[in-house]
Amino acid sequence: MRFVDEFRDADKARSLAARIASLCEPGRHYKFMEVCGGHTHTIYKHGIEDYLPETVQLVHGPGCPVCVMPMGRVDDAIHIASQPDVVLTSFGDMMRVPGGRGSFFDAKAAGADIRMVYSPLDALKLAQKLPDRRVVFMAIGFETTAPSTAMTLLRARQLGVENFAVFCNHVTIIPAIKAILDSPDLRLDGFLGPGHVSTVIGCRPYEFIARDHAKPLVCAGFEPLDVLQSVYMLMRQLADGRAEVENQYARVVPWAGNRRALEVIADTMELRPYFEWRGLGFISQSALRLRPEWAAFDAERIWPLPGIRVADPKACQCGEVLKGVIRPWECKVFGTACTPETPIGTCMVSSEGACAAYYNYGRFTRQRVEEAAR
């Protein structure tokens, strides 16, 4: 496919890796966080870590929307699904996320009507097809996905679809990055910026990272050469003693973002005072809810939620994985009690989760490297 295959060339990857190696200062270790789960997936799928010098480490960040959903929110969604006449819809990724009392699949097996959709517009269509039911869309995702939910709400109002509602769980990336920067557990040298979030918010919101924290950020694309080039650009900045926001993914990300997308979010949603993130805890002004004018479409107002906090299972270390404090294989239950088929934690559920990506693509490489070293 155009704009994809060209960015997967192995020879160019090797030259980039050699350039990166030539920029390494002897004795110095480099740690870069890829904020977005899409990058985590690319890194493991294409074995990018094998190309990088050993002193350059990529740390996985909190940018996987499914992974940061706390268990209590899954229980809340199942509570909505068990109300009379309700059909709950969400993206396929959500179906296996464990809540305090099971996942959507478990609730479905127990009789709840929960369906997967590809797009929020499909949920709206379902509401039109089932006028006697109440169709609720559980919205998850960062700023990449929030405009789609917003557009669907505008369309629902325009079409007068009254049996459609949204359970809004949209989160915002900047507060999560701030929480990481303020966390004492982790020392980072720079960030790979989330390419697709940036198509919406643009590159300016990251400027505080360079200005106040003196760390470089490069907005990165999702093909292997995009990731390697972005690492190269970060290394170049460090070598030059610069800390700036740069845009490697300019073919998709406009510096100013998508004005219309930001407008429709602002028309339909507002910041919550605070929101609980799995692993990161409560972060103020880090998530979106529907504006009061949209109350008739707001599942949280239609059905008061139990909102009970559920602590993560003791064995689960998703929190540390999400903050980049430990790597997936360092978790006690990785690949044994916790696998993609029977996940304990969210990082093993979504294909963007660090544990799932590592389990699916990376675990054998590591084994081989260890065996070779012995």
Partner 1 sequence: MSGVRRRINVGLLTDETIGPGDWILIHVGFALSKIDESEARAALEFLEGIGQAYEDELRALQESP
Among 15, 128, 284, 367, binds partner 1 (CB under 8 A): 15
Phi and psi dihedrals of 310, rounded to 5?
-120, 125
Strands (DSSP E) found in 21-76: 30-36, 56-63
Answer for the pair 190, 32: CB distance below 8 angstroms, yes or no: yes
Helices (H) then strands (E): counts for the chain: 16, 13
201 secondary structure, DSSP code: H
DSSP for 313-346 reads PTT--HHHHHTTSS-GGGSTTBTTTB-SSS-SSG
Residue 350 interacting with partner 1 (CB under 8 A): no
Nearest distance from residue 202's CB to partner 1, in Å?
11
Residue 89 interacting with partner 1 (CB under 8 A): no
Contact mark string toward partner 1, 216..235, x via CB under 8 A: ---------x---x--x---
Residue 18 interacting with partner 1 (CB under 8 A): yes
What is the footprint of partner 1 within residues 259-288 (CB under 8 A)? Answer: 259-261, 264
Nearest distance from residue 117's CB to partner 1, in Å?
9
Q: Which of 138, 87, 70, 121 is nearest to 307 (CA)?
A: 70
Nearest distance from residue 194's CB to partner 1, in Å?
13
Residue 91 interacting with partner 1 (CB under 8 A): yes
What is the footprint of partner 1 within residues 109-148 (CB under 8 A)? Answer: 118-122, 141, 144-145, 147-148
Q: For residue 65, what are its two tokens?
A: 């929307």
Residue appearing with tokens 């009690």 = 337
DSSP for 51-98 reads HS-TTEEEEEEEE-TTTT--HHHHHHHHHHHTSTTEEEEE-GGGGG--
Residue 169 interacting with partner 1 (CB under 8 A): no
Nearer to partner 1 (CB atom), residue 141 or residue 328: 141
Nearest distance from residue 41's CB to partner 1, in Å?
15
Q: Which residues bind partner 1 (CB under 8 A)?
A: 1-3, 6-7, 9, 11-12, 14-16, 18-19, 91, 118-122, 141, 144-145, 147-148, 151, 196, 199-200, 225, 229, 232, 248, 250-254, 258-261, 264
